[in-house]
Amino acid sequence: MGITTPIALYDELKQVFWNADEGVTLGDHLSVGFGKVDRRRQVRAFAERHADEPRNVAAKAYEREYGFSAGIAAIWLDLFAEPADVSFSEWLGVEVAECPTGAPASRADVPVAHDTEREAPTLEGFLARELAGRICDEGLVRRRFAFEFPDDPPEALDRGIEDAGYYEDRGLLFREGSTPNDHFTRLLAEHPSFAKGDAGFENAVWQHPAFRQVLRQALSDHRLLLYEGDSYISFSRLHDVLGARMADIESYAPAVSVDAPEGEPFTVASLRAGGATPHPLYGLDMPDDFYEGLLDAGGLLRSCTLAGTKVFVAGGEGRLSAADLIEWIVAHHEGIERDDLPRLLANDLGITCPAPLLTTTIYNSDVYYDDIGDAYYSSMEAWKKEARNELA
């Protein structure tokens, strides 16, 4: 197949498995996961093998072994390497108090006596279990109710929810006494790090408009930072782990915006490959998602996403789309051959775009395709002009 480098292999896998339900996860830094990827378990196992090493040494070792940046490795080790499990307390700078020999055992250590016959479930017991938090997924509660109480009408659950002091809003159940905004503000404050799909951060929460509003505000204020995919970390925790400074966080987007040529698309990858103006945040060695998140939160640039990569443009009006990006590229490379377009995206912007997605994006744009020359032009007029020039 002519594959001679890890990058070439990764690009080939991305073309083959893009948008396919094959249990294959294509991540950043040339990472490919087959089956269920359990980052927490992987990081804990790694931390166990490097328990006696200083923080920076362990992070660099993770970078060498798995290809992820040392910055993201340090965050994962902080989040997932639990001292009690992997003897990493010294690495984290945490003191663990030992339980005295004569101390009473916890409830988890005491064997539970099970009755030979299971008691019939009650609505009160069901609600006490399901409504344990301040925010609950209403759809999930109703499905479980229908399964456990097939003969009871839905109205019985409605009365039970109301009596328990909860109210429904946009598919979620909230404990009475606070608005959804208040609940979500508290939720973010109580979690210095979280990811979409974590307990308390299920899809129903992400779909709620109040959560999205609170999340956007926290990102805008830099109290919360995107660091990879749908994973977030508080500034205070990032400061503790990597020593990040708020002044650097706040200055990154303005600094990039000032230096960016107006109207010319760029990505974080193209910025760094092109020798971007030095900035202290690059010293954190974070993945591109982190810097993309800061540029998005800054609100100074227009952006779109193509094949999972954010593309930014300084200046202009209105929303930017992936089709706009293709139109700009073709307009600046009139007559670009079809096979050269994906190579240009990869070389100039660091975007590996699967062929089906690129074909769809081109179809949705206003570029003109010359099927004889197998090339793209910004318009039919541009193609005609090129044809006349060739005949002259």
| Cα separation, 78 vs 75, whole angstroms | 5
| Terminal CA-CA length for the chain | 42
Q: Which two three-digit tokens encode residue 186?
A: 């508290």
Residue 85: what pLDDT?
Answer: 39
DSSP 263-297: T--B-HHHHHHTTPPP-GGGGG---HHHHHHHHHH
**What average pLDDT score do residues 231-236 get?**
96
Tell me the C-alpha to C-alpha distance, in Å, between residue 62 and each of 50, 76, 220, 288.
Answer: 9, 10, 31, 18
Ramachandran category for residue 169: left, alpha or beta (phi over 0 → left; psi -120 to 50 → alpha): beta
* Beta-carbon contacts of residue 375 (< 8 Å; ≥ 6 apart): 335, 336, 337, 338, 369
Tens digit of pLDDT for each residue in 295-307? 999 999 999 999 9
Give whole-number Cα distances, 201 to 136, 172, 236, in Å: 10, 12, 20
Exposed / middle / buried, residue 251 (Cβ in 10 Å: 0-12, 13-18, 19+): middle
> pLDDT tens digits, residue range 125-136?
999 999 887 888
Q: pLDDT category, 18, cuts 50, 70, 90?
A: low
Question: How confident is the model at residue 110, as a pLDDT?
Answer: 44
- From the centroid of its chain, how far is CA 347? 24
pLDDT of residue 78: 87
Specify the higher pLDDT residue, 144 or 81.
144
Encoding tokens for residue 144?
């479980």
Q: Report the pLDDT value the prediction gives residue 33, as an integer from 0 to 100.
A: 67
pLDDT at 113: 46
- Identify the residue with better confidence: 102 or 364: 364
Please classify residue 36 by burial: count the beta carbons closer than 10 Å to its beta carbon, then call 0-12 exposed, 13-18 middle and 19+ buried.
exposed
Q: For residue range 242-273, list pLDDT tens digits in order.
A: 999 999 999 999 999 999 999 999 999 999 88
What is the per-residue pLDDT for 222? 97
Calculate mean pLDDT across residues 180-199: 93
Residue 355: pLDDT over 70: yes
Q: How much is the pLDDT for 215? A: 97
Summarised one tens digit per residue, pLDDT across range 360-390 is 999 999 999 999 999 999 999 999 998 888 8
C-alpha span between 349 and 373 (Å, rounded): 25
Strand ranges across the sheet with 231-234:
193-195, 231-234, 224-228
What span, in angstroms and rounded, lies between the C-alpha atoms of 131 and 231?
A: 26
- Residue 98 above 50 pLDDT? no
Structure tokens at 252: 């990154």
Q: In the beta sheet, which residues pair with residue 376?
A: 336, 369
- The per-residue pLDDT for range 340-352, each reduced to its tens digit, is 999 999 999 999 9
Tokens of 350: 């660091």
The lowest-confidence range among 102-106, 111-115, 126-130 is 102-106
- The domain locations on the chain are 121-219, 322-391
Q: What average pLDDT score do residues 80-96 get? A: 43
The pLDDT of residue 4 is 73
Model pLDDT, residue 198? 87
Dihedral, CA of residue 12, residue 271, residue 306 and residue 353, to nearest 10: -20
**Lowest mean per-residue pLDDT among 32-41, 68-77, 119-128, 312-321:** 32-41
Name beta bridge partners: 174: 135, 167
Write phi, then psi, for 175 (nearest 5 degrees). Answer: -70, 135
Expressed in percent and rounded to 5, the helix, strand and coil fractions of the chain are 50, 15, 35
Given a cut of 70, whether residue 34 has pLDDT beyond it is: no
Determine if residue 223 is left, alpha or beta; phi over 0 gives left, psi from -120 to 50 gives alpha, anything else beta.
alpha
pLDDT in tens, 117-166: 557 789 999 999 998 878 889 998 999 999 999 999 999 999 999 999 99
Better-predicted residue by pLDDT, 67 or 58: 58
Output the pLDDT for position 103: 45
Signed CA dihedral, 149, 155, 160, 161: sign only: positive
Tokens of 43: 């990081």
Of 168 and 277, the structure prediction assigns the larger pLDDT to: 168
Q: What is the pLDDT, as a whole number, of residue 40?
A: 79
Q: Would you state the structure tokens that stand for residue 35, as one six-digit string?
A: 């089956």
What tokens appear for 40 in the block? 């927490």
